[in-house]
Amino acid sequence: MENLKLLIFVGTEGIYHDHAGNGQFLTQMINDGGEIQADFAQDYNVLAEGLSGYDTVLFYTDVGELTSAQEEGLLNYIRTGGGFYGLHTAAASFRESEGYHGMLNGFFDGHSPYMDFKVNVSEGAHPITEGLADFEVTDELYYLKHNPATSHHLMSAYDHTKDETHVMAFHHTYGEGRVFYFALGHDMAVLENPSFQTVIRRGALWAAKRL
């Protein structure tokens, strides 16, 4: 079987994160592991006219705006079987795009202080999390506006600053496509975490129906 073709799209509006640098790190990390061929992109035009050559698109974006053609290009790509992988600030992006957030089932609603916390695997039988133990990270613990009834939860984390538990990873389908969201990803402290990297690779394979 040919290598999975993955597009890592970061946009251009990163303010609180080094999306370009972190995205390039992820691209190199994934390409070094084999099995997946990852390309890096910042040009929004690819969303309207350039997704057909990819099995999955990973969004590591922040704020930004989508034109109607870009949003419809992305959503149609997923509806017809393309994979979508939202990472961290993908839930804080394109705040006026109701179709995008309906597809994602997640909308940024704040986060904890940058801190150490444990990510708990709540569904260990799924291909993304199979054999994965709970792991410690240094990151922002995201809060989301999210309908838990329409997605399957894979991981969660307890926020001691609020005495609340929040979903960290979930998946669902959108039309014929698979959607996966992973809330971690602030900076290199978590991007270099081996468990995080395992989820990154498996999430891309799962969204592309290779797992």
Q: What does the pLDDT look like over 98-149, one tens digit per residue? A: 999 999 999 999 999 999 999 999 999 999 999 999 999 999 999 999 999 9
Residue 62's pLDDT band, with cuts at 50, 70 and 90, is: confident
Lowest mean pLDDT among 45-54, 66-75, 170-179, 196-205: 45-54
**Per-residue pLDDT, 34:** 87
Which range of residues forms the domain containing residue 125?
A: 4-207
The number of folded domains in the chain is 1
Per the DSSP assignment, residues forming a β-bridge with 9 are: 41, 59
**Per-residue pLDDT, 14:** 66
Q: What is the CATH number of the domain that holds 94?
A: 3.40.50.880
The residue among 70, 69, 103, 104 whose CA lies nearest residue 89 is 104
Question: What are the C-alpha distances in Å from 55 to residues 11, 111, 145, 150, 183?
Answer: 19, 31, 28, 23, 21
Q: What value does the mean pLDDT of the chain take?
A: 95
